[in-house]
Structure 1
Amino acid sequence: MSPCQSTHFTVPSLLEDHVYEFRVIAENEAGRGTPSEPSKSTK
């Protein structure tokens, strides 16, 4: 996993007609936070 340098991120190679959920994990000098709640499913 590589760090995201902005508040937007494009996920490559997603397939049509598949359902995806996304989570965010913040990381700073104190370490990693807990994962966010999953996003609403998106197609």
Structure 2
Amino acid sequence: GMAGALPIAGLTISAYDPAFDAKGEVPPLVGELLVELLATMERS
């Protein structure tokens, strides 16, 4: 369940933090997820 997913989420966030700080922009994967989320919200 969630307990197993949390460490993976933590690793993912940790992996993206340096890229986020260095570039000052949203990592490509996060950007894609946000675009998909907005598109889903518009359709509903």
Asked if Structure 1 and Structure 2 have the same fold, meaning a TM-score greater than 0.5 normalized by the shorter chain, the answer is no
Higher fraction of helix: 2
Scaled to the shorter chain, the TM-score interval is under 0.3
As a proportion of its length, which structure holds more strand? Answer: 1
TM-score, length basis structure 1: 0.18
Q: Which of the pair has more CA radius of gyration? A: 2
- Choose between structure 1 and 2 for higher RCO, CA contacts under 8 A separated by at least 6 residues: 1
Alignment TM-score, normalising by the size of structure 2: 0.18
